[in-house]
Amino acid sequence: MKYFFKAIRLILQPVILFIDWVTRPSWPKRSKEEQKSIDEKTSNLALYQFYACPFCIITRRAMRRLGLNIEIRDAQNDPKWEQELVEQGGKRQVPCLRISTEDGKVEWLYESKDIKHYLEQQYGDTGNAPQMNADKR
Ligand SMILES: N[C@@H](CCC(=O)N[C@@H](CS)C(=O)NCC(=O)O)C(=O)O
């Protein structure tokens, strides 16, 4: 049974990645200055993720649609990021957005839906208030 699910996953992952690649949202048109200003704002963010995780793909698509250059940290293949996620975030689950605030605090926002809402609220034209249920550490 374990191998059955592993096989399904191995077949589905490239399909999902291909569909994502073909239907990628376009990057919003903005001036270099505008993009630079947004990049400065998002420099306090980092996304802990796995490359082929569907929830991470949803989150990366939202980032792209909003034109956000957020640092991506591979928590699947880089033990340093995995350890940081588990020890500081609280659990090994991706995607997770690390938000460092101006007063030096760090918030770990789990759940793709909540991350998407947070980014839309901060950087999009529309969107609802996010459910900030991040663990504060
Ligand atoms: N409800 C979560 C689901 C996230 C989820 O299930 N992520 C999987 C990867 S696709 C995970 O973190 N698994 C932990 C592991 O493989 O150790 C979301 O929408 O973000």
Eight-state DSSP code of residue 54: H
As a whole number of angstroms, the distance between CA 119 and CA 58 comes to 12
Cα angle value 5/23/15 (rounded, 5°):
20
Say if residues 134 and 110 touch (Cβ distance below 8 Å).
yes
pLDDT tens for the chain, residues 1 to 137: 889 999 998 999 999 999 999 999 999 999 999 999 999 999 999 999 999 999 999 999 999 999 999 999 999 999 999 999 999 999 999 999 999 999 999 999 999 999 999 999 999 974 444 444 444 44
Of ligand 1's listed atoms, the one at least distance from the Cα of 59 is 20
pTM of the predicted structure, to 2 decimals: 0.87
CATH classification number, 31-136, choose in 3.40.30.10, 3.30.70.3340, 3.40.309.10, 3.10.20.340: 3.40.30.10
Q: Is the peptide bond before 25 cis (omega within 30 degrees of 0)?
A: no
Report how far ligand 1's centroid is from the alpha carbon of 92 (Å).
Answer: 8
